[in-house]
Amino acid sequence: MADVKVYVEKHFEHSKVDDKLFSSFIEHLGRAVYTGIYEPDHPTADEQGFRQDVIELVKELDVKLVRYPGGNFLSGYNWLDGVGPKENRPVRLDLAWQTIEPNEIGIDEFVDWSKKAGTEIMGAVNMGTGTPQDAAFLVEYCNFPGGTYYSDLRKKNGHEQPHHIKTWCIGNEMDGPWQTCHLSAEDYGKKALETAKMMKWVDNSIELVVCGSATSLMATYPEWDRIVLEHTYELVDYLSLHRYYENEGNDLDFLSSFYDMDNFIKSVCATADYVKALKRSDKTMYLSFDEWNVWYQQKQTREPWKIAPEILEDRYSLLDALVFGGMGLTLLNNSDRVKIACLAQLVNVIAPIFTKKGGPVIKQSIFYPFEHLSKYGRGTVLKPVILTPTIKTRYGNVPVVHQSVICNEEKCEVTVFALNINEQEEVNVSIDFSSFGQLTLVEHICLYGDDLHAINTFEEPEKVKPMSLSIEQQTGTSFEVSVPRLSWNVLRFTY
């Protein structure tokens, strides 16, 4: 059995975790909105047509922000189509996803939904067909108290109080040729700067996210990021990153996605820090990893011109959940720079929550690692010394057990997350907590199983789910824990 040693020192703090690290994303895409969060005929629908069974699961994930309304959809979206009396709203072609957008849900309804789901909105302004002025008008509509055209329009539409949307994305993936009205880095940088100025002039309390590269695989990466930041550095608060992984045929390579993601984050930080130096700035640019997940992009099919077609409905396996958990740990371990991270997406579309139209809702396998991260990943990430064997993968020599250690001072809890990517055997993890004194191991949650390709279905909704393993040693200053082969582990200690 392989051995991993972890030395945890309570004073070696890496970073405080921002609650916004546990955020998600809902786009007008496929069945995310229509028959996802909203289905007026559903037996659980409330008076506004929101599925309460879905709201309950969103609450379980304790999501801080939900990015809305896109995504690729954003770059052709006129937000005015989604406000006012529903019977007057236009039905539009959504060119990004080749679907029909009925506009039954817009910003006002989404604000209502977010309150019911116990979350906040990360707004987004259209930088494709949209202008800087459209963006400023949207901020006025949402955040200005009253007495102007757009703030009074919001009141007329039933929302007397401002929505107070604090965080805004300036466009989406504008480096991507697939984007409606895609721009060069220079053109986007200039447009984003003018847009940021106008948005902050309307409400200078807002925070802005400027588009970084759509993925590390873009030919324009990281030059795109450098150029955009050279234009916008002093006016924006975050640079965005997006990254999806899929199994390209080698499970071990797929399992080590977390390592590649770490490199991506580090090199985006280096790019941002280069611009910081160039500008002689004392401001640190934070990162918004506002799309991350497993996504099987090659299998994608499109049904043209339907309302809420079943597209991007990936069904996640145990293996996908392990990979997903590893990515989550990389986000935690980089939480000194990554302040926002959005699991893309939340319902039906590449999502942890999956509904049947008119029927039940289930948790996909990736629901669980996200739930664990959100429940036990809050506090301060520590910097343990880890001695671990490595395995050779396409991304280099990768630790066999990927870990993150979090101390929650308020709750007097320490959580050790451990992903074992060893395909052959279990690993013995010994953890030294001497600086804490005596600790109690209260729970060992583990997600693992014989069938890596098992998925949850409406017939078998709990096929993939974590279990509590029996604990051999309850208290001490050091612990020996065995983690099964190919497993996601949450070791919860109290002190």
Contact 403, 416 (CB under 8 A): yes
Residue 476 exposure: Cα atoms within 13 Å on the Cβ side: 11
Residue 413 three-state SS: strand
| Options 69-77, 136-144, 279-287, 430-438: segment touching ligand AHR (CB under 6 A) | 69-77
Question: Considering the rule CB under 6 A, would residue 70 count as an interface residue with ligand AHR?
Answer: yes
| Options 64-72, 116-124, 313-321, 468-476: segment touching ligand AHR (CB under 6 A) | 64-72
Question: Considering the rule CB under 6 A, would residue 344 count as an interface residue with ligand AHR?
Answer: yes
15/220 with CB nearer ligand AHR: 220
Question: Considering the rule CB under 6 A, would residue 345 count as an interface residue with ligand AHR?
Answer: yes
Which two structure tokens, joined as six digits, stand for 311? 């597209």
58/414 with CB nearer ligand AHR: 58
DSSP 286-301: EEEEEEEEE--GGG--
Residue with token string 């609650």: 19
Binder of ligand AHR out of 109, 173, 262, 314 (CB under 6 A): 173
Mask for 129-158, x = binds ligand AHR (CB under 6 A): ------------------------------
Question: Considering the rule CB under 6 A, would residue 175 count as an interface residue with ligand AHR?
Answer: no
Q: How far is CA 465 from CA 12, 348, 422, in A?
A: 33, 19, 20
Question: Considering the rule CB under 6 A, would residue 80 count as an interface residue with ligand AHR?
Answer: no
CA distance 130 to 108: 19
163: alpha, beta or left? (left if phi > 0; alpha if psi -120 to 50): alpha
Instruction: Choose, from 173, 186, 194, 371, the residue flagged as catalytic.
Output: 173
**Min dist. Cβ of residue 94 to ligand AHR (A):** 11
Contact 258, 417 (CB under 8 A): no
Instruction: Pick out residues in 10-29 that bind ligand AHR (CB under 6 A).
Output: 27
Question: Considering the rule CB under 6 A, would residue 128 count as an interface residue with ligand AHR?
Answer: no
CA distance 271 to 440: 43
Question: Considering the rule CB under 6 A, would residue 30 count as an interface residue with ligand AHR?
Answer: no
| Options 68-76, 109-117, 328-336, 423-431: segment touching ligand AHR (CB under 6 A) | 68-76
**Min dist. Cβ of residue 307 to ligand AHR (A):** 18
Contact 170, 125 (CB under 8 A): yes
Residue 328 three-state SS: helix
**Min dist. Cβ of residue 353 to ligand AHR (A):** 15
CA distance 244 to 290: 11
Mask for 453-472, x = binds ligand AHR (CB under 6 A): --------------------
CA distance 57 to 349: 15
Is 173 annotated as catalytic? yes
Q: How far is CA 156 from CA 116, 147, 494, in A?
A: 22, 12, 52
Binder of ligand AHR out of 114, 172, 365, 404 (CB under 6 A): 172
| Options 65-73, 182-190, 299-307, 476-484: segment touching ligand AHR (CB under 6 A) | 65-73
344/373 with CB nearer ligand AHR: 344
Question: Considering the rule CB under 6 A, would residue 36 count as an interface residue with ligand AHR?
Answer: no
How many positions of this chain bind ligand AHR (CB under 6 A)?
10
Contact 399, 388 (CB under 8 A): yes
Contact 136, 115 (CB under 8 A): no
349/481 with CB nearer ligand AHR: 349
**Min dist. Cβ of residue 229 to ligand AHR (A):** 20
Instruction: Choose, from 27, 140, 291, 413, the residue flagged as catalytic.
Output: 291
303/451 with CB nearer ligand AHR: 303
Contact 447, 420 (CB under 8 A): no
Instruction: Pick out residues in 191-220 that bind ligand AHR (CB under 6 A).
Output: 214
Is 246 annotated as catalytic? no
Q: How far is CA 230 from CA 185, 225, 286, 317, 470, in A?
A: 10, 8, 15, 42, 54
Sites of contact with ligand AHR (CB under 6 A): 27, 70-72, 172-173, 214, 291, 344-345
Residues carrying an active site annotation: 173, 291
